[in-house]
Amino acid sequence: MPTFRDLTPEEYRMRVAELIAEIEEEGERHRDGNPVAGVEKILIQNPYEPPTRRSKRSARPVFHFQTREARESFMGELEAFLEQYREASDALRSGRLEAAEWFPEGSYRPQLPFLGDPPPPRPPSPPTRRIEILEAGGIARGAIPVVEIPRRIWPGAPGHPT
């Protein structure tokens, strides 16, 4: 270390040992008196298993604030925002279209159900031809049914009855 360059090798080793002892002591104080894990304890642990001891930390807060007053002010504004949003959303979903203007600034309105024309009905399934298994082990197929395919002629197209 550059600050120890004037020391003799013996003084240098002693000073480094003192620094290590200080670091270990500080680490023990930060761990509430639990000793720092040594080489043996670290080598015994399986790196693929979860830790045996749970963390003592509580859940992190959603927002961080410098003062209690700032937190209380923000939480009050958030509650008012959410209450206004819920009221507007409930009114809009119940069919009151003027409620679209009641939403607080900076929010998105919920999606309303589609009220347009219903989709056209599904066409019927095409008929299938009968297949029979004969006693001799063969297969007899019935006649191929004739299927009429409807053709849609758009207004203005040739052949459209206008």
pLDDT of 139 reads 83
Give the pTM.
0.38
pLDDT of 30 reads 63
Tens-digit pLDDT profile for residues 123-144: 877 777 778 888 888 888 877 7
Same-domain check for residues 68 and 33: no
Domain coverage including residue 19: 2-44
Q: How many domains does the chain have?
A: 2
Task: Tell me, yes or no, whether 157 lies in a domain.
Answer: no
Single-letter amino acid, residue 35: P
- Out of 7-21, 94-108, 117-131, which region has the weakest mean confidence (pLDDT)? 117-131
C-beta separation of 107 from 85 below 8 A: yes
- Out of 5-19, 88-102, 119-133, which region has the weakest mean confidence (pLDDT)? 119-133
C-beta separation of 66 from 84 below 8 A: no
Tens-digit pLDDT profile for residues 36-56: 677 888 888 888 888 777 767
Task: Tell me, yes or no, whether 53 lies in a domain.
Answer: no
Q: How far is CA 87 from CA 97, 107, 108, 121, 141, in A?
A: 13, 13, 14, 38, 65
pLDDT of 135 reads 84
Task: Tell me, yes or no, whether 154 lies in a domain.
Answer: no
Residue 27 confidence class, pLDDT cut points 50, 70, 90: confident
